[in-house]
């Protein structure tokens, strides 16, 4: 059977960041087998490398409950694994459900950063503050003033919620029925919460991402949601005018501290968002 690799993505040290399982040479696996394997690993996502080319691979991404067209940390982690396994160059192209996504590797003082360019984010519907606060187990005063609660999509959708403090971020308790009433006809999406207060000095924001997958789960680090944040921040001037270079913390509340780098700028009025982080190998094995 196929071999697999496990890596930690957006991790500054091993056993931090967001773990990812990458199953190699998975072209013979049926989709229901991929889903079962993803459920067995139990990570936020597991990827399957289907057909290899000169500079990349066709890749499918599964959560424990469904296949999804794009996600940030699986894209970066899979590209890093394929590069190491197959001797690929400093740019790897993954054919995902959203189309080709390029991942570039650049040297950094601490080693190497993998960067992806996200699908162009789309800003969507805004939601009421009072109803949002109820769905999060918070008071309306816990939401950041003068910033909207808004749906944003970059291959996959999120409800972006700005909060006033780190204390509020820590107190969030997602009420799934209330969230369903808030979103209405919108398909199930993750809830991405952020605040300007941080756990570590020198960072720009702290974030959490909660989602439904056989109950409420929390993601240690979410690259696609970070891309949505970049577009949201440009649109609403969260960090001032002009291009952005941000460092976002995530995963501290579940003991998986992560550091996500976001570069955001407007080109001819269209947001260009890049998301980067470290990818650290953890283990390897074989499916029986």
* 3-state DSSP of 104-161: EEEEECCEEEEEEECCCCEEEEEECHHHHHHHCCCCHHHECCCCCEEEEECCCEEEEE
Classify 122-276 by CATH class: alpha beta
Token output for 2: 């196929």
- On the 0-12 / 13-18 / 19+ scale of CB atoms within 10 A, 12 is middle
pLDDT in tens, 121-179: 999 999 999 999 999 999 999 999 999 999 999 988 999 999 999 999 999 999 888 88
Residue extents of the structural domains in the chain? 3-109+279-286, 122-276
pLDDT in tens, 3-49: 999 999 999 999 999 999 999 999 999 999 999 999 999 998 999 99
Q: Taking CA 180 as the corner, what is the angle to CA 176 and CA 181, rounded to the nearest 5 degrees? A: 120
Distance between CA atoms of residues 263 and 11, nearest Å = 18
Token output for 70: 């794009």
Whole-model pTM: value is 0.93
Say yes or no: domain 3-109+279-286 is CATH 3.10.310.10.
yes
- Locate tokens 């939401």: which residue? 143
> Active-site residues: which are they?
45
- Return all residues near 218 (Cβ < 8 A) that are at least 6 apart: 208, 209, 210, 211, 253, 254
- Return all residues near 23 (Cβ < 8 A) that are at least 6 apart: 2, 3, 4, 29, 34, 37, 46, 47, 48, 49, 287
The candidate with the shortest Cα–Cα distance to 259, out of 187, 201, 217, is 201
Mean pLDDT for the chain overall: 93
Query: In CATH terms, are 3-109+279-286 and 122-276 the same topology?
Result: yes
Distance between CA atoms of residues 102 and 7, nearest Å = 19
């Amino acid at each position: 059977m196929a071999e697999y690799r496990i890596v930690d993505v957006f991790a500054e040290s091993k056993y931090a960041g967001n773990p990812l399982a990458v199953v190699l040479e998975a072209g013979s696996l049926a989709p229901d087998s991929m889903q079962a394997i993803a459920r067995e690993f139990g990570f936020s996502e597991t990827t399957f490398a289907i057909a290899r080319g000169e500079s990349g691979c066709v890749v499918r991404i599964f959560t424990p409950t469904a296949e999804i067209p794009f996600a940030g940390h699986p894209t970066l982690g899979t590209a890093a694994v394929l590069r190491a396994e197959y001797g690929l160059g400093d740019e790897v192209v993954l054919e995902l459900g959203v189309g080709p996504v390029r991942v570039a590797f650049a040297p950094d003082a601490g080693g190497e950063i993998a960067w992806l360019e996200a699908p162009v984010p789309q800003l969507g519907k805004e939601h009421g503050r009072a109803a949002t606060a109820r769905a999060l187990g918070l008071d309306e005063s816990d939401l950041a003033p003068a910033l909207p609660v808004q749906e944003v999509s970059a291959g996959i959708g999120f409800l972006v919620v700005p909060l006033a403090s780190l204390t509020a971020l820590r107190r969030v308790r997602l009420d799934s029925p209330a969230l369903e009433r808030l979103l209405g006809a919108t398909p199930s999406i993750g809830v991405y919460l952020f605040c300007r207060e941080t756990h570590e000095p020198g960072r720009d924001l702290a974030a959490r991402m909660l989602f439904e997958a056989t109950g409420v789960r929390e993601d240690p680090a979410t690259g696609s949601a970070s891309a949505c944040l970049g577009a949201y921040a440009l649109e609403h001037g969260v960090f001032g005018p002009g291009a952005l270079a941000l460092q976002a913390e995530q995963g501290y509340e579940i003991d998986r501290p992560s550091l996500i780098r976001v570069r955001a700028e407007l080109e001819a009025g269209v947001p260009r968002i890049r998301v980067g982080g470290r990818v650290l190998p953890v283990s390897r094995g074989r499916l029986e």
